[in-house]
Amino acid sequence: MADIAAVRPASRMSFGGWPQLALWGCLALALIIAPQVFSSSAAVSLLSQLGTLVIFCLSYNMLLGEGGMYSFGHAAYSGLGAYFAIHAMNMAAHGKFYIPVWLIPLVGGIAGMVFGILFGYLTTRKAGTAFAMITLGVVELVHASSEMFPGFFGGEGGVETNRNYGSGFFGMTFGPQIRVYYLIVAWLLLSAIAMYALTRTPLGRIMNAVRDNAERAQFVGYDPKTVRFFILVLSAFFAGISGGLQAINMELITSESVSSLRSGDAMIFTFIGGAQAFFGPIIGVLIGGFLSFKLSDYTQAWQLYLGIFFILIVMYAPTGVSGILLSNWRVIRAGLFGRVAWRWSAVVCAGAMIALAGAVLIELSYGFVFGSEKGAVVNYVRALDKNIQGVVWGAAIVVLVGGIFLLRRLLPPFKDAWNDVSSRAHLMKSGDRA
Amino acid sequence: MEYTLINLLNGLSYGLLLFMLSAGLTLIFSMMGVINFAHASFYMLGAYFAYSISIRFGFWPALVVAPLIVGLIGAAIERYGLRTVHRHGHLAELLFTFGVAFIAVEVVQVIWGRQTLPYGVPKQLDGPLFTLYNTDFPIYRVFMMGVSLFMLLSISLMLKRTRIGLVIQAALTHPDSVEALGHNVPRLFMLVFGGGAALAGLAGVIGGAAFVTEPGMAAAVGSIIFVVVVVGGLGSLLGALLASLLIGIVQTFAVSLDYSLLSLFAKFGARLGPDAPGYIVLKISIAEVAPILPYLFLVVILIVRPRGLLGTRET
């Protein structure tokens, strides 16, 4: 299990103390005022979607970050939770039993947990790469059986519902999107606090122990398989809640929600945001959501950008975006940023050159192959003169090569300086404590 | 009899194709401990390169050159990507290959477009080889089976009988000692990864012609080859062969069987109506169960024999 420990250093990265509380306050405040700032109906439905995704990725990070378990099948729990939730809604609407809409996510959560117990029993016997492959098998099993039971999974068209039934929450029905958004926010804050609290319990600590060194944890007397099983069941519960909210939000669930594709999204978003920090997945969802929901209006290559970004993070910043932010924050707080500011900006500039030129080249190639539909950059370039178009291609290549050359020159000295500064910052921090 | 024999042959050829696909995957895993999620992408690349080469130079050059190109790409990915990630551990390597698979689909679409390519069986291999009862058995299927068996034979001979094979095997367990003896272990790993990618590329050249060549082809086989590798036992070449044949034959038979539990009950005189308890489950025919059979198989194997059919290690 040494490889898991290598991916995630043992020390917890968190702000600690009052910044932690402030962070939670900011999160709650941001969630509450967001629809006032972005008030168009498209924006509110996008925010609702991001909200369910945040719960999904936070629950995924219980496995990845806290337990060191790389699951490729997390959508099995959220998807099945969503299906059970949507059937519960339809039954409640037909008066078969009574359950208010705002409690529906709990149905999803319990369904997710039940399947977590069922599948978790199989998958958590293994760790590491074998666990990853078996979870992939499980989600494929669920996805393939969606064709076998069209009554439950709704076949090609999926299962539809209407969230506007019953008397609502103290007389407030959930017809308008904005109310659904606040319902999602309430469940999001509740689940996020519960998941965060869990990391502070003894069970949470044992999860970390099993992640860092399963053998030692076993010597101390904790069976790694049992611990992994508990993490998975709890994580499946929260995944089910996100599925239930998705059912309320979309009013339609198709078999795509139990696919390996959806599971892959959770993994990519969480890893981009950073599995180290509790807030990492939230940042990951913001970035991934921006790329997949917003950028897809302007370019066809958004999946390529997402893939490249993911690979760069895996290769050069395994702590994710939140890890980069945190290490910068530490250096700034220690008052040492001034020493590297010049090199830091040079490296960022070189990186920006590569990113910009690379994006222009990718956009032009996509436009060249697929035509200019949905290509903002391509349309802009097409409007230019033929000769200038050639100049754009040439300039992009020159800037790209120049940027790579610069980065190769600048990176090694920057790395040395940065490591020096951040280890000093670390020393100063531990000095505070002593 | 006719039905059984034809299905058995079809199942065998499908199983051998599955083996071709998973051989490289299990090889890379047993040598480097890396689960290569981009393996199916190399299969896809093999088919696309084979198409591009075959429209200019014909099928036979493509059969040789396309796997070589894919192998070179694999080696380059190992050299410039995987090696950087290696220090972060095996799971980081897995994530890296996952990202590569993600990008490969996009790159293939930019180069060859989104439509299905008209890449088919070459003229020399088109047509029936022999007729069994009243059914023709195509030459291409026999060719496919032959290549697969040849692949099995050459891999095991190379690993067991040649010098480089022995060094590779030693590098798996004792990389430091092998390095101390003067062998370049990182380059060996690059070779193994490139070789595994080339095997997937070869499967692509052959499978792409037999089935379809389109951007979704990697995703279509992506999960099933993992099932093969886990069921066979992680890292066991012979286990992968056994698992591929088993899955190939069982699935081929299952697809053509239209029996359900309902028809079984009917045989014993119990005709159940739609209001019978569990009717939804009873009316499902074996053919409908076929798509989930491999995954069900995986689950059963994990319960009964967690290390797979011929696996030696637990994880």
The 10s digit of each residue's pLDDT in B94-115 is 889 999 998 999 999 888 888 8
Q: Look at residue A188 and tell me if it is in a domain.
A: yes
Q: What is the pLDDT of residues B76-88, one digit of tens each?
A: 999 998 888 888 8
Contact A268, A310 (CB under 8 A): yes
Q: What is the pLDDT of residues A112-143, one digit of tens each?
A: 999 999 999 888 888 887 788 888 889 989 99
Same domain, residue pair A95 and A196 = yes
Q: Look at residue A326 and tell me if it is in a domain.
A: no
> Residue A306: its chain B contacts at CB < 8 A?
102
Q: What DSSP state is assigned to residue B277?
A: T
Domain interval for residue A233: 2-316
Same domain, residue pair A303 and A421 = no
Q: Look at residue A327 and tell me if it is in a domain.
A: no
Q: List beta partners, residue A160.
A: A252
pLDDT at residue number A3: 43
pLDDT at residue number A82: 95
Average pLDDT score over residue span B221-250: 88
Same domain, residue pair A293 and A358 = no
Structure-model confidence comparison of residues A15 and B132, the more confident one: B132
Same domain, residue pair A212 and A63 = yes
Indicate the residue among A267, A289, A316 that finishes a domain: A316
Report how far residue B108's alpha carbon sits from residue B104's, in angstroms, rounded to the nearest whole number: 6
Residue A356 near chain B (CB below 8 Å): no
Does position B168 have pLDDT exceeding 70, yes or no? yes
- Please judge whether A125 and B84 are an interchain contact, meaning their C-beta atoms are less than 8 angstroms apart: no
Q: What DSSP state is assigned to residue B116?
A: P
Average pLDDT score over residue span B298-314: 77
Query: Which residue, among B91, B94, B314, would best test binding to A if mutated, counting the most A CBs under 10 Å from its CB?
Result: B91
Query: Which residue, among B77, B79, B98, would best test binding to A if mutated, counting the most A CBs under 10 Å from its CB?
Result: B98
> Residue B314: its chain A contacts at CB < 8 A?
126
Helix (H) or strand (E) segment spanning residue B128: strand B128-132
Min Cα distance B28 → chain A (Å) is 13
Residue A370 near chain B (CB below 8 Å): yes
**Would you say how long chain B is, in residues?**
315
Min Cα distance B89 → chain A (Å) is 5
- Please judge whether B89 and A129 are an interchain contact, meaning their C-beta atoms are less than 8 angstroms apart: no
Q: What is the mean pLDDT of chain B?
A: 85
Q: Which residue of B has its CA nearest to A130?
A: B315
**Would you say how long chain A is, in residues?**
434
Q: Look at residue A339 and tell me if it is in a domain.
A: yes
* Half-sphere exposure in the Cβ direction for B104 (13 Å, CA): 27
Q: HEC profile for chain A? A: CHHHHHHCCCCCCCCCHHHHHHHHHHHHHHHHHHHHHCCCHHHHHHHHHHHHHHHHHHHHHHHHHHCCCCCCCCHHHHHHHHHHHHHHHHHHHCCCCCCCHHHHHHHHHHHHHHHHHHHHHHHCCCCHHHHHHHHHHHHHHHHHHHHHCHHHHCCCCCEECCCCCCCCECCECCCCHHHHHHHHHHHHHHHHHHHHHHHCCHHHHHHHHHHHCHHHHHHHCCCHHHHHHHHHHHHHHHHHHHHHHHHHHHCEECHHHHCHHHHHHHHHHHHHHCCCCCCHHHHHHHHHHHHHHHHHHCCCCHHHHHHHHHHHHHHHCCCHHHHHHHHHHHHHHCCCHHHHHHHHHHHHHHHHHHHHHHHHHHHHHHHHHHCCCCCHHHHHHHCCCHHHHHHHHHHHHHHHHHHHHHHHHHHHHHHHHHHHHHHHHHHHHHHHHC
Does the complex come out with an ipTM higher than 0.90?
A: no
- Please judge whether B303 and A122 are an interchain contact, meaning their C-beta atoms are less than 8 angstroms apart: yes
Same domain, residue pair A230 and A373 = no
Query: Which residue, among B93, B95, B228, would best test binding to A if mutated, counting the most A CBs under 10 Å from its CB?
Result: B95
Q: What is the pLDDT of residues A288-339, one digit of tens each?
A: 888 888 887 778 888 899 999 999 999 888 889 999 998 888 888 888 888 8
Name the residue among A138, A318, A366 with its Cβ closest to that of B92: A318
Does position B192 have pLDDT exceeding 80, yes or no? yes
Helix (H) or strand (E) segment spanning residue B295: helix B293-304
pLDDT at residue number A309: 92
> Residue B35: its chain A contacts at CB < 8 A?
129, 132-133
pTM score: 0.87
pLDDT at residue number A120: 93
Number of domains observed in the structure of chain A: 2
- Please judge whether A4 and B91 are an interchain contact, meaning their C-beta atoms are less than 8 angstroms apart: yes
Report how far residue A274's alpha carbon sits from residue A74's, in angstroms, rounded to the nearest whole number: 17
Give the sign of the dihedral formed by CA A254, CA A260, CA A264, CA A270. Answer: positive
Helix (H) or strand (E) segment spanning residue B135: strand B135-138
pLDDT at residue number B52: 92
Q: How many CB pairs under 8 A join A and B?
A: 132
Residue the block writes with tokens 């009899």? B1
- Please judge whether A308 and B85 are an interchain contact, meaning their C-beta atoms are less than 8 angstroms apart: no
Residue A369 near chain B (CB below 8 Å): yes
Q: Look at residue A323 and tell me if it is in a domain.
A: no
Same domain, residue pair A307 and A344 = no
User: Amino acid identity of B151?
Assistant: M
> For chain A, which ranges sit under pLDDT 50?
1-15, 433-434
- Residue extents of the structural domains in chain B: 2-256
Indicate the residue among A316, A351, A382 that finishes a domain: A316
- Please judge whether A268 and B35 are an interchain contact, meaning their C-beta atoms are less than 8 angstroms apart: no
CATH of the domain at A260: 1.10.3470
- Please judge whether B230 and A122 are an interchain contact, meaning their C-beta atoms are less than 8 angstroms apart: no
Residue A122 near chain B (CB below 8 Å): yes
> Residue A138: its chain B contacts at CB < 8 A?
295, 299
Structure-model confidence comparison of residues B213 and A116, the more confident one: A116
Indicate the residue among A290, A316, A342 that finishes a domain: A316
Q: Which residue of B has its CA nearest to A69?
A: B91
Q: What is the pLDDT of residues B9-36, one digit of tens each?
A: 888 988 999 999 999 998 888 888 788 8
pLDDT at residue number A235: 96
Q: Look at residue A325 and tell me if it is in a domain.
A: no
Average pLDDT score over residue span B30-45: 88
pLDDT at residue number A76: 94
Same domain, residue pair A135 and A279 = yes
Q: At B49, list the tokens.
A: 């390169």
Q: Name the percent of chain A lying above pLDDT 90.
A: 35
- Please judge whether B114 and A315 are an interchain contact, meaning their C-beta atoms are less than 8 angstroms apart: no
> Residue A151: its chain B contacts at CB < 8 A?
280
Average pLDDT score over residue span B246-258: 85
pLDDT at residue number B281: 72
Query: Which residue, among A133, A296, A363, would best test binding to B if mutated, counting the most B CBs under 10 Å from its CB?
Result: A133
CB within 8 Å of chain B, chain A residues 78-97: none
Is B273 exposed, middle or buried (CB count within 10 Å of its CB: 0-12, 13-18, 19+)?
Answer: exposed
Residue A107 near chain B (CB below 8 Å): no
pLDDT at residue number B108: 92
Report how far residue B269's alpha carbon sits from residue B262's, in angstroms, rounded to the nearest whole number: 11
Same domain, residue pair A220 and A294 = yes
Query: A405: Cβ–Cβ under 8 A, 6 or more apart, which residues?
Result: none
